[in-house]
Structure 1
């Protein structure tokens, strides 16, 4: 694990959108990832702790979905971070848009492409040590 990387619990809330003009704390994700001192996901640290890097998707009244944060080949810069809910299938994966480039800090914005292809923007609501 990188010296400065520590496991963090990151909570994302749906940002303002046409459907939710005020955003929504009832729609989002909570996931665990090793972040370096600048708030970026640390790939080397993730490799040693991938089983601990879980995700929960909460979406209004829908049942919560549980999975893992996974690093996959392809995408921007040759790899993509995805939320994987079924390891034997890839059609359910939700890709973080340029997650490797973003600092995860409260108030920042990130986007996730859902399995149906829709892209949603989220606010980083909280980041706390696990």
Structure 2
């Protein structure tokens, strides 16, 4: 298992026909040899699995990657419920450059993102 830094940016949609590099996420995630999220390794690295959400004309948000059952989600405040952003069936997807992943915001809007960088995470 290795931790990886992943950047994913907004994929094409009605509002952004070409996608948008100004909307997305930087994440640190544990991946197995097949490129899938590794829940066992995640348990040993929960504090390292950080998330940075960047969105044009909005304040950046920082949170952590969480796992429960088969579900993966972003949690911006571990003391408050309802601010989580779940991934759509992330347990089934390989995380690799060019792959598309979907996140649902607390208001119910779902956005699709394209993985644009994937590199080993070096702790500073």
Q: TM above 0.5, one fold?
A: yes
* Aligned twin of 1:19: 15
Give me the TM-score of the superposition, normalised by structure 2: 0.95
Instruction: Quote how far apart the aligned CAs of 1:84 are.
Output: 0.2
Question: Is residue 90 of structure 2 the alignment partner of residue 99 of structure 1?
Answer: yes
* Equivalence map 1:111-126=2 (5 Å): 111-126=102-117
* Aligned twin of 1:8: 4
Give me the TM-score of the superposition, normalised by structure 1: 0.90
* Aligned twin of 2:24: 28
**Can you list the C-alpha shifts for 1:13-72, whole angstroms capped at 9, x where unaligned?**
000000000000100111101101111000000000101000000011211100000012
* Aligned twin of 2:40: 44
Q: Distance in 1 between matches of 2:115 and 2:34?
A: 15
Question: Is residue 52 of structure 2 the alignment partner of residue 61 of structure 1?
Answer: no
Q: How many residues align?
A: 121
**Runs (5+) with no aligned partner, structure 1:** 74-78
- Partner SS, residue 97 of structure 1: coil
Q: Distance in 2 between matches of 1:89 and 1:72?
A: 16
Q: CA RMSD in A?
A: 0.8
